[in-house]
C-alpha cells in the first residue's frame, strides 16, 4: 500500500493524501504541515474548514489542525500562535523509526528554523510531525528538538477544528471540576462548575492538567469524538460565536455553528529543552457512534468504558 499520494491542482498548494483500506482519508498541506481534511470510511468530513479560508503563503489557514509553535495565542512577542502554521514544511527524509502498524498510512514532515526565523525567535530547532491514518483514527506525533547551543522554552498546541452539526447540541466531557484560564476575562483563573461543557456563547479557555481522554459529544449526529493525548497536559476550548465570527475575515458569519476547537496543548508550563534534548507529544482523534441510555448519552462509557 502506498503511504500517500501527492495531488497538485492548478496553482494552489499541493495536497498530500493519506488513505487506508477501509476507505478513510486525510489530506495534508506542506503549508503549515497542516491536516486540512479527515474523512471517515463513509466519506464524511470530520474536520471543519472555513469556506472563507485563505490558502496563501504566509497566511494561516482557518480550519483543519493548525500547529501552534513556538507560541500559543499571543502569550509572547511572536505573531499569534507562532510561525510554524504559516511556514512551508518539507517531507522528512530521515524520520525516526517507530514501530510499524499494519493497515496504517503514515507521513513524516519536518520544519527547521531558518535564518529569517532566527531574527524573530533566536533558537535553532527541528520540529517533526508524524501523521498516521488508520481505520477510524487519526494520530499526530509532534517532536521538537533543540539544535541550538543554549536552552529554550516554548508553548505548543494542536488546534483541532472539529466539524459538528450544531454547536448548541454539543457537550464536552472530561474537563469538569478542572481549573481554566478564561481568555475573555483577562486570563483569570476559574474552576469549571458544570458537569459538562455546553455552548451558548463565545468561549476561549485553557483547561489545565486535563485527563488524557476528552469526549466531544455531538447529539444531533449521534457521534462522539474521542481525543486522547500525551505530553500536552492542557486543553484549549474555543468557539468565536456570532459577533467574533463576523469580525474574522476568513470565517463565514454562520460558520461558528458547525465548528468547535478542542486543542491538545502545553501552555501553562512552557516546555524547556536543553541543547540536543527532544520533546515528544501524541494526539489520537477517533470517533465512536454515541450510545443512548434512557434517552441520554452515556459519556462515562466513552470516557472510561471502552477504548
**Is 160:65 a contact under the CB 8 Å cutoff?**
yes
By DSSP bridging, strand 278-280 and strand 161-163 are unpaired
- Read off the pLDDT of residues 137-175 as tens digits, 9 standing for 90 and up: 999 999 999 999 999 999 999 999 999 999 999 999 999
Residue 305: per-residue pLDDT? 53
Residue 111: per-residue pLDDT? 96
- Read off the pLDDT of residues 29-46 as tens digits, 9 standing for 90 and up: 999 999 999 999 999 999
Residue 7: per-residue pLDDT? 84
Q: How many angstroms separate the CA atoms of 90 and 88, rounded?
A: 7
Q: How many angstroms separate the CA atoms of 253 and 60, rounded?
A: 18
Residue 177: per-residue pLDDT? 95
- Read off the pLDDT of residues 102-127 as tens digits, 9 standing for 90 and up: 678 999 999 999 998 899 999 999 99
Residue 95: per-residue pLDDT? 80
DSSP 12: S
Three-state helix/strand/coil letters over 58-104: CCCCCECECEECCCCCCCCCCCCCCCHHHCECEECCCCCCCCCCCCC
Q: How many angstroms separate the CA atoms of 247 and 128, rounded?
A: 33
- pTM value is 0.91
Residue 226: per-residue pLDDT? 97
- Read off the pLDDT of residues 55-108 as tens digits, 9 standing for 90 and up: 887 788 899 999 999 999 876 667 777 899 999 999 998 787 766 666 789 999
**Is 116:265 a contact under the CB 8 Å cutoff?**
no
DSSP 168: G
Number of other CB atoms surrounding residue 273 within 10 Å:
19
Amino acid at each position: 500500500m502506498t503511504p500517500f499520494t501527492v495531488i497538485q491542482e492548478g496553482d494552489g498548494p499541493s495536497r498530500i493524501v493519506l488513505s487506508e483500506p477501509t476507505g478513510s482519508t486525510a489530506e495534508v498541506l506542506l503549508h503549515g504541515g497542516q491536516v486540512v481534511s479527515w474523512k471517515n470510511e463513509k466519506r464524511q468530513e470530520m474536520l471543519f474548514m472555513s469556506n472563507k479560508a485563505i490558502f496563501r503563503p504566509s497566511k494561516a489557514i482557518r480550519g483543519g489542525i493548525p500547529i501552534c509553535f513556538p507560541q500559543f495565542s499571543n502569550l509572547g512577542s511572536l505573531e499569534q500562535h507562532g510561525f510554524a502554521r504559516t511556514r512551508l514544511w518539507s517531507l522528512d527524509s530521515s524520520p525516526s523509526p517507530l514501530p510499524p502498524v499494519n493497515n496504517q498510512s503514515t507521513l513524516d514532515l519536518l520544519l527547521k528554523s531558518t535564518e529569517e526565523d532566527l531574527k524573530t525567535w533566536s533558537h535553532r530547532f527541528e520540529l517533526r510531525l508524524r501523521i498516521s491514518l488508520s481505520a477510524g483514527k487519526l494520530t499526530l506525533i509532534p517532536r521538537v528538538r533543540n539544535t541550538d547551543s543554549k536552552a529554550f522554552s516554548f508553548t505548543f498546541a494542536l488546534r483541532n477544528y472539529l466539524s459538528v452539526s450544531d454547536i448548541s447540541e454539543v457537550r464536552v466531557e472530561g474537563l469538569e471540576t478542572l481549573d481554566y484560564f478564561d481568555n475573555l476575562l483577562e486570563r483569570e483563573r476559574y474552576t469549571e462548575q458544570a458537569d459538562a461543557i455546553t455552548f451558548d456563547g463565545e468561549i476561549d479557555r485553557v483547561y489545565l492538567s486535563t485527563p488524557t481522554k476528552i469526549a466531544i459529544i455531538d447529539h444531533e449526529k449521534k457521534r462522539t469524538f474521542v481525543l486522547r493525548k500525551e505530553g500536552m497536559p492542557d486543553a484549549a476550548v474555543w468557539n468565536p460565536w456570532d459577533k467574533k465570527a463576523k469580525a474574522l475575515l476568513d470565517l463565514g458569519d454562520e460558520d461558528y455553528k458547525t465548528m468547535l476547537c478542542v486543542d491538545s496543548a502545553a501552555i501553562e508550563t512552557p516546555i524547556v529543552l536543553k541543547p540536543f534534548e527532544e520533546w515528544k507529544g501524541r494526539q489520537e482523534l477517533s470517533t465512536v457512534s454515541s450510545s443512548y441510555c434512557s434517552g441520554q448519552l452515556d459519556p462515562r462509557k466513552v470516557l472510561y468504558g471502552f477504548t
